[in-house]
Chains A and B, each alone.
Chain A
């Protein structure tokens, strides 16, 4: 048998040096970059040089009274419709998971109906509901009653809220239900074993954990609602879209062809609010991620602050080695 000679290694000599290799060329990437830049450049050129965009009109109306009023109405509709959607959605989801088949069935029927018909049709339905029920009465037969004319009660605002909110509840119910069933059954059992009651368990244990699953699609729904609320223009409710429509079709604008610049005004506002909502969703998700990950990554703002701080501070100590020295395999 051959005796393997002991290897004598000079300190550091046994380790290969850092790699210096010729990288692969990617000509395809360069071509793609050029094509994309050319198209983008063309778009920007066209945006800036085509007079008919009327950027001056965009600027003139962007913060005009009527547009801002419409924006406020849009925000109001979105907030109220989402509030109705989320709260009714939670109720419907809990109903759907109820052991009582009638209760669960009702919830199923609600979701089936409101998800199965277009929201535009629902909005029109609520707007014209007074033709179906001329007056609205709640009361006990032969007893006290509350009675109002439906036309008085269902204003354009109410029709918009009902149409958007009740429809949203059907979607939210499914989102909440998915969140609830995503929570492990052991959680409910542990809470039961501690003597907690059904609603307590739902509120303190199940829903907070379900939130992690519920929030991202709910953020989506809110952004979607912001835009869907523009459908309300068909029932002549002056939210953002209908406000700009009124401006460009108004008597003072005849022949001015302001449609495009004013639709741009509306679109810019929709984009701005959507961006704000996206940031809000990010922080909300972080809040409900507590306990789900070992440590949360810093927010972009924290990262920026740290960057500014280190920029002004004296040079920091050298960073610790990524591999703890004790772990490097083999004796030196």
Chain B
């Protein structure tokens, strides 16, 4: 693809103490692309996702979003750590959805959604509330404006969490196993929202165990194991015909 990548990782490394979790990740995500990351637990896929918005610091390699390094500024051949405010600003352009929702329990659905636009972007209350209501309608929860997270089901919470991330009008959305904590019957609603988001052209990186979602919505599929990318390619092809033995073993267990 000729356009500049939205996410570009070159030999990204990350260790927790003596445990090396990422051992040289190379990949690119194009604008409007939906990339699904799969792999066994402990393979480093969630850690890599968290590196993209600097929730984790990388120890080696280069990682950039929209052409700018994550967490650093390069000047000549020297790297400078970014200030807190700069890191916050970059994070505000990337949406993230967590496995455990992490909605703020002391705020209603609406308050959850308008908080960051008002406090981080400086939107006026009326603008933020209008957008929040539109977003809640878009995820099918127009009637839950004043509900507290405790009063919502898991699937509804996750859809509010997606709306909360979208309210910042991000250029990239990260999903960290968004349906893994949900009852099976609630998974579909969340995946539907994500599918619509992909159709609208959002760039998405999705760590998931939902192979059917990867097949139908994903533009690319990446299989990671023990900190490296084992195999990457178009999802249909890769799921039907994995080239690597390791991928084949993994897929035979989950499909």
Q: Are B119 and A193 in contact (CB under 8 A)?
A: no
B residues near A (Cβ < 8 Å) are 53, 55, 84-85, 88-96, 98, 100, 102-108, 115-116, 119-120, 148-151, 161, 164-165, 168
Segment from A129-137, A140-148, A151-159, A202-210 that makes contact with B: A202-210
The docked-state distance in angstroms from the alpha carbon of A109 to that of B102 is 35
Chain A contacts of B106 at CB under 8 A? Answer: 208-209, 288, 290-292
Q: How far apart are the CA atoms of A198 and B120 in the complex, in Å?
A: 12
A197-B84, A197-B85, A293-B150 are known contacts; what are 16 more A-B pairs with Cβ within 8 Å? A186-B100, A186-B102, A189-B102, A190-B103, A191-B116, A192-B88, A193-B91, A194-B92, A194-B164, A195-B116, A196-B88, A200-B119, A205-B104, A208-B106, A288-B106, A290-B148
- By beta carbon, the residue of chain B nearest A208 is B106
Q: A189-B98, A190-B102, A205-B104 are in contact. Are A195 and B88 (CB under 8 A)?
A: yes
| A332 adjacent to chain B (CB < 8 Å) | no
A: interface residue count bin: 20 to 34
With the chains together, A204 CA to B107 CA distance in Å? Answer: 10
- Which residues does chain B contribute within 8 Å of A200, judged by CB atoms? 119-120
Chain A residues with Cβ below 8 Å from B151 are: 294
- Which residues of A line the B interface, CB within 8 A? 184, 186-187, 189-198, 200, 204-205, 208-209, 288, 290-294
**Complex contacts, A290 vs chain B, CB 8 Å:** 106, 148
Cβ-defined partner of A204 (8 Å) among B89, B93, B115:
B115
CA distance A196 to B95 in the complex (A): 12
Q: Nearest chain B CB to A40's CB is how many angstroms away?
A: 44
- Within 8 Å by CB of B105, from A189, A192, A196, A291, lies A291
Taken together as a complex, chains A and B put the C-alpha atoms of A316 and B128 apart, in Å, by: 44
Q: Is the CB of A192 within 8 A of B55?
A: yes
| Residues on B with beta carbons closer than 8 Å to the beta carbon of A195 | 88-93, 116, 120, 168
CB distance from B47 to the nearest CB of A (A): 13
A and B contact pairs by CB, cutoff 8 A, 6 listed = A190-B103, A191-B104, A193-B98, A194-B115, A200-B119, A292-B105
Residues of B within 8 A of A186 (CB): 98, 100, 102
- Asked if residues B102 and A291 are in contact (CB atoms below 8 Å), the reply is no
Shortest Cβ distance from residue A182 to the other chain B in the assembled complex, whole angstroms: 12
Please provide the 10 A-B residue pairs with the shortest distance between their CB atoms, ordered closest to farther. Answer: A195-B92, A190-B102, A194-B116, A193-B96, A291-B148, A186-B102, A195-B91, A195-B120, A291-B106, A291-B105
Chain A residues with CB under 8 A of B150 = 291-294
Task: Determine the chain A residues whose CB is within 8 A of the CB of B96 once the complex forms.
Answer: 190, 193
In the complex, what residue of chain B is closest to A290 when comparing beta carbons?
B106
Least CB distance from A205 to B in Å reads 6
State the CA gap A106–B60 with chains docked (Å). 35
Whether A209 contacts B120 by the Cβ 8 Å rule is: no
- CA of A161 to CA of B100, assembled, Å: 46
> Closest B-chain residue to A288, C-beta based?
B106
Task: Please name all residues of chain B whose beta carbon is closer than 8 Å to the beta carbon of A196 when the two chains form the complex.
Answer: 88, 116, 119-120
Distance to closest chain A CB from B153 (angstroms): 12
Whole-angstrom distance between the Cβ of B30 and the nearest chain A Cβ? 23
Question: Whole-angstrom distance between the alpha carbons of A260 and B220 in the complex?
Answer: 86
In this complex, which of B91, B95, B168 has the most chain A Cβ atoms within 10 angstroms of its Cβ? B91
Closest to A293 in B: B150
> Are A194 and B98 also in contact (CB < 8 A) when A209-B105, A293-B150 are?
no
For B121, the closest partner residue in chain A by CB is A195
Inter-chain CA distance A189–B98, complex, in Å, is 9
Given A195-B89, A291-B150, the answer on whether A187 and B84 have CB atoms closer than 8 Å is no
User: Which residue on A lies nearest to B102, using beta carbons?
Assistant: A190
In the assembled complex, the Cα of A197 lies from the Cα of B86 at a distance in Å of 10
Which residues from A are CB-within-8-Å of B107?
A: 291
Residues of B within 8 A of A294 (CB): 150-151
Among residues of B, the one whose C-beta sits closest to the C-beta of A184 is B102
Question: Chain A residues near B95 (CB, 8 Å)?
Answer: 193
CA distance A290 to B108 in the complex (A): 9
Say how far B167's CB is from chain A's closest CB, in angstroms: 9
Which A residues are in CB contact (< 8 Å) with B164? 194
Inter-chain contacts of B108 with A (CB < 8 A): 291
Decide: B84 and A194 in contact? CB cutoff 8 A: no
| Min CB gap A31→B, angstroms | 47
Most B CB contacts (10 A, CB to CB) among A189, A193, A288, A293 go to A193
Instruction: Give chain A residues whose Cβ lies under 8 Å from the Cβ of B120.
Output: 194-196, 200
> Please, which residue of chain A has its CB at the minimum distance from the CB of B90?
A195
In the bound complex, how far is the Cα of B149 from the Cα of A208, in angstroms?
15
